[in-house]
């Protein structure tokens, strides 16, 4: 399975990763090789099997229904790269008007 540069760029957009040109090229080669390897799963006889997405915990816990204090707003914002008006600040992403 050969992954093209265009496919790498498409997946990088989905993953919100800005890649340099040399990274894109290396990823195309690495992903092609890894996908060749994992293609072996196609030969498996999976009749009767159901997809396993997670391992069930034998007894799901229920916590007591009591109110606990949430994280303080100021504490949550302490490590924010940029904050203003008691909120995380980001570039404007909705046009006004």
Partner 1 sequence: MISARDLAERVRSGASAEHAAAAALDSIGEQAGLGAFLHVDRERALASARAIDQRRAKGEPLGALAGVPVAIKDLLATRDAPTTCASKMLTKDGRLETGWRPPYDATVIERLRAADAILIGKTNLDEFAMGSSNENSAFYPVKNPWDEARAPGGSSGGSAASVAAGLSWLALGTDTGGSIRQPAAFCGVVGMKPSHGRVSRYGLVAFASSLDVIGPFANDVADAALLFDVIAGPDPRDSTCSSEDSAECLAALPHGDVVRGLRVGIPREYFQAGLDPAVEVAVRRAADRLASAGNTLVPLSLPHTQYGVATYYLLATAEASSNLARFDGVRFGLRVEAPGADLAQLYAQSRGQGFGAEVKRRIMLGTYALSAGYYDAYYKRAQLARALILEDFRAAFEEVDVLLTPVAPTPAFRLGEKTDDPLTMYLADVYTLPASLAGLPAISLPCGMTAPERGTPALPIGCQLIAGAMQERTLFRAAYTLERLLADLELPSCPARERSRLHHFDAEGFGG
Task: Report the interface residues with partner 1, using CB under 8 A.
Answer: 3, 7-8, 11-20, 23, 26-27, 30-31, 33-35, 37-38, 40-42, 44, 46, 49-55, 57-64, 71, 75-76, 78-82, 88, 90-91, 93
Instruction: State both tokens at 76.
Output: 């949550």
Smallest distance from partner 1 to CB 35, Å? 8
The burial class, CB within 10 Å (0-12 / 13-18 / 19+), for 12 is: middle
- Token pair 């790269």 in the structure block, residue: 81
With respect to partner 1, which residue has the nearer C-beta, 54 or 97? 54
Contact 1, 36 (CB under 8 A): yes
Smallest distance from partner 1 to CB 63, Å? 3
């Amino acid at each position: 399975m050969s992954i093209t540069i265009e496919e790498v760029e498409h997946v990088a957009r989905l993953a919100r990763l800005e890649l340099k040109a040399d990274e894109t090229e290396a990823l195309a080669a690495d992903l092609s090789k890894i996908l060749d390897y994992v293609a072996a799963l196609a030969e498996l006889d999976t009749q009767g099997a159901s997809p396993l997405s997670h391992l069930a915990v034998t007894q799901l816990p229920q916590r007591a229904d009591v109110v606990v204090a949430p994280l303080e707003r100021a504490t949550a914002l302490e490590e924010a790269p940029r904050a203003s008006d008691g909120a995380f600040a980001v570039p404007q992403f909705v046009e006004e008007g």
